[in-house]
Structure 1
Amino acid sequence: MADSNNFSHSATIFPVSDLTKSIEFYTEKLGFEKTFEWGKPIYYAVVKRGGVGIHLTKRSDGGKPSKYHRALYIFVNSIEKVYKQCKEQNIKVVNDLELRDYKMKDFDIEDPDGFIITFGKTGD
């Protein structure tokens, strides 16, 4: 097995149907900042908030995200604050905030392309 210290970090990549709409969702509704874009017209972009980066790319096939599996789990320090902000922004919440049996307090949202994103905090 290779030396695991050689691994630096990873990138979550979401193939999206409308890149402009997705960038607006993540920046205007979730408070991310667009830090990179590539192509003319734009084909690829990166949005970041804190230590979380999401890469968005223009979908070139008809693939649909899973409605059952989470695409991304984001750990936050103030879960109630994030939940309140999502509700205020009228973001589609698909599972309300609650303490789960796996010792996490979390909730799920759905982005414009149907990706399920969970925000969570270790349950107190």
Structure 2
Amino acid sequence: MTGETSFRLGRFAPTLGVRDIDASYQAYNAVFGLQKVFSNGDPVGFMILKAGAAELHLTLQKGHHAAPFNVAHLMVDDVDAVHARCVAQGLRIIKRVQDKDYGLRAFVFADPDGNRIDVGQALER
């Protein structure tokens, strides 16, 4: 098998488990400008956030324990600005901003539930 397909891929959005869906929404909105475009349940147990081409799904999991690895990677055009917003929101920085030998300037932060997100920007060569 060559990995080629006869079909086009569409939306592929990560879903993060969270203990407090509103707190997570507030953090992702403040840092990335993600807007709630859908929510379901009373109380809300599922939410879709979107900004530009980026989409993130949140699912309420009261017993959620974050994985000890990065659960998503996000490419941006100003990694330093995103880092500053994460710091301003009091989010924990797991790995500091640094230029990587594989061509990215990147850092890792943990959201309010400990989900680790790797944020990168392509370095000019």
Normalising to structure 2: TM-score of the pair? 0.85
Shift of 1:9: 1.9
Letter matched to residue 115 of structure 2: F
Aligned-partner Cα distance in 2 for 1:50–1:3: 26
Mark the CA change 1:6 to 1:92 in structure 2 (over 3 Å): closer, same or farther.
same
Greater shift, 86-95 or 99-108, is seen at 86-95
Letter matched to residue 3 of structure 1: T
Q: What does 1:67-106 align with in structure 2 at a 5 Å threshold? A: 67=68, 69-106=69-106
Aligned to 2:60: 58
CA offset digits 1:68-121 (Å, max 9, x no partner): x21111000111221222222222111111011222110111011110001101
Percent of pairs with identical residues: 25
Aligned to 2:122: 122
Shift of 1:49: 2.1
Normalising to structure 1: TM-score of the pair? 0.86
Mark the CA change 1:110 to 1:4 in structure 2 (over 3 Å): closer, same or farther.
farther
Q: What does 1:37-56 align with in structure 2 at a 5 Å threshold? A: 37-56=39-58
Aligned-partner Cα distance in 2 for 1:49–1:119: 16
Aligned to 1:108: 108
Shift of 1:3: 3.0
Aligned-partner Cα distance in 1 for 2:80–2:23: 26
| Runs of 5+ consecutive residues of structure 2 not aligned to the other structure | none
The answer (yes or no) to whether the contact 2:77–2:121 under 8 Å persists in 1 is yes
Query: Aligned-residue CA RMSD in angstroms?
Result: 1.9
| Runs of 5+ consecutive residues of structure 1 not aligned to the other structure | none
The answer (yes or no) to whether the contact 1:16–1:59 under 8 Å persists in 2 is yes
Q: Aligned residue pairs: how many?
A: 122
